[in-house]
Structure 1
């Protein structure tokens, strides 16, 4: 195994999210001004181009730069959720968002599984090309098949700084933010290292991508099966108790 592989994996994985977090308020402001559909198309076409660029990268430093560019161009899923929530009749919003959640969960199953199989058969580099074509098709579908009724917000839009100050003043909200940060951190600590861990515990290096893809997909399958059940349980016993059970279960799972 290459020296420093874990560090390189963590850096290339996280730098994209850092760039995305920094640029997200700007894309949100443009979405309010020009509409969600243009942002959806912008993100889809940009990400497609970035994935194609990844295919030709042969240097880790260049790969980091491309990952930063990927983070700056991201926002496809948030834009699609915002588009659906603002352009669906109010009585059907819950159903529409439920369908989107299901689609996202199914994608979390098929994506890692298909990616692992493809990487195992033809190599990781080809996966970037396939991902580029898939998101390009998504952008074309958004361009041709999606209709948006864009309504500009009245009055002066509050600044990001003001939004952050208001959020910071809400102690209960900050507790939720802090907890979400901890949970997301615990998940993201593991994701860049899963393929490496498969090799370390005795898995074949050639089959590591396939094995890790199956493991990622297993989590998605469990989410699809149990997601609705935990929602029902939350209605019965309270979401705070359900959240506590989920956190304990996740902690035990990671320890095991």
Structure 2
């Protein structure tokens, strides 16, 4: 008779005192990684102009295509990395994402044309995915009763990096040029990976010899699951709503600004304002979970985000726009950590890598479709149509959560 191995010691905080250190180091590393990504993402349209892409319609198209290409490759490879994480450990996947990602980002500073840039963006999607890797790692090393708080803390670190990245990236770009920001970002990702390698301890138990579902079977189980599938759609639409503005936000800020204004800095602030308030929301939302539950918080966040997206289509100056972007963050910051916490609470520990791989794939699809949709709407109907359409998507998402997302039970099934 074959027995499954005992659960790893980290299921109890009393038996594994190192989980707090590992959590904090993972959060710092993830914040550093997102800071590095945030250095360059808001300035893609401006970098395209620098390497010779014109006219503005071509810049809008290629901005969307570059973000979409990364999302497509990430969507394809995330479930594969998730399955490997369940077999070989989640820490290894974090190291892969950060160290290889650092090299790829640095090489982007050397491109001479948009074709080379496109190849590196595809490779970035294939080999990175730091958020999914870190989320699976955190879900596997913290006690179950601290999962919601831990996921919220991790998501806060993501938002801190996102919020500070564009602002610091704007300052770096003003000082050394956009190319220089890619080299700095690559070095930061590599440093984050080294910190994880040295200071994060995963009590990984290799899988038992009991037959595990294969990769294709795992994907099928996830797509058929009445619990996981609605959460995958939720994350897809949340990420679509976030990424839809990526190609047009710097250009929209440029249109709102005068010729003398620091457009690069304002573009960074437009991204950063949302991320700062998202970080605060992600940090404190777990205090509301005990009173209201995850599902009710998700519903409120969907409709609240829609209400803040809609008036962005009608702003007349940069100040109004930044205020609305900040208010949006209060609701947007709850959506991802609350959904990821439900995934962790509803999934057996030995399959969490695969589960987060599938949800990361759904997120990547949203990240791929969003910029393409945003570019198409902006080119055909104008910039305001992007914000109006996004408000509609978030409203529909609220009704989706009402109808299909379930409150997690006390133990995974």
TM-score w.r.t. the length of structure 1 is 0.87
Q: CA deviation at 1:22?
A: 0.6
Q: In the alignment, does 2:116 pair up with 1:62?
A: yes
Q: CA deviation at 1:63?
A: 0.4
Q: In the alignment, does 2:249 pair up with 1:194?
A: yes
Q: CA deviation at 1:231?
A: 4.4
The question of whether the paired residues in 2 share the 8 Å contact of 1:16 and 1:68 is answered with yes
Q: Secondary structure at the match of 2:201?
A: coil
The question of whether the paired residues in 2 share the 8 Å contact of 1:87 and 1:148 is answered with yes
Match of 1:24 in 2: 78
Q: Secondary structure at the match of 1:119?
A: helix
Q: In the alignment, does 2:300 pair up with 1:245?
A: yes
The question of whether the paired residues in 1 share the 8 Å contact of 2:69 and 2:118 is answered with yes
Q: Distance in 2 between matches of 1:241 and 1:38?
A: 35
Q: CA deviation at 1:128?
A: 0.6
Q: CA deviation at 1:73?
A: 1.0
Match of 1:48 in 2: 102
Q: CA deviation at 1:90?
A: 5.0
Query: Which runs of 5 or more residues in structure 1 are unaligned?
Result: none
Query: Which runs of 5 or more residues in structure 2 are unaligned?
Result: 1-54, 312-413
Larger mean Cα displacement after TM superposition, 92-101 or 65-74: 92-101
The structure carrying a bigger helix percent of its residues is 1
Q: Which runs of 4+ in 1 moved over 6 A?
A: none
Q: Distance in 2 between matches of 1:251 and 1:88?
A: 33
Q: Distance in 2 between matches of 1:75 and 1:135?
A: 12
Distance 1:233 1:177, change over 3 A: same
Match of 2:19 in 1: none
Q: Secondary structure at the match of 2:195?
A: helix
Q: CA deviation at 1:235?
A: 4.2
Superposed, which structure 2 residues align to 1:41-120 within 5 Å? 41-90=95-144, 93=147, 95-120=149-174
Match of 2:217 in 1: 162
Structural RMSD (CA): 2.5
Distance 1:195 1:40, change over 3 A: same
Q: In the alignment, does 2:275 pair up with 1:220?
A: yes
Match of 1:4 in 2: 58
Q: In the alignment, does 2:129 pair up with 1:129?
A: no
Match of 1:36 in 2: 90
Q: Distance in 2 between matches of 1:63 and 1:206?
A: 29
Q: In the alignment, does 2:263 pair up with 1:208?
A: yes
Q: Distance in 2 between matches of 1:150 and 1:210?
A: 43
Q: In the alignment, does 2:201 pair up with 1:150?
A: no
Q: CA deviation at 1:169?
A: 3.0
Q: CA deviation at 1:120?
A: 2.7
Q: CA deviation at 1:76?
A: 2.5
Q: Distance in 1 between matches of 2:146 and 2:284?
A: 21
Q: Secondary structure at the match of 1:191?
A: coil
Distance 1:97 1:189, change over 3 A: closer
How many equivalent pairs are there? Answer: 256
Larger mean Cα displacement after TM superposition, 224-233 or 157-166: 224-233
TM-score w.r.t. the length of structure 2 is 0.56
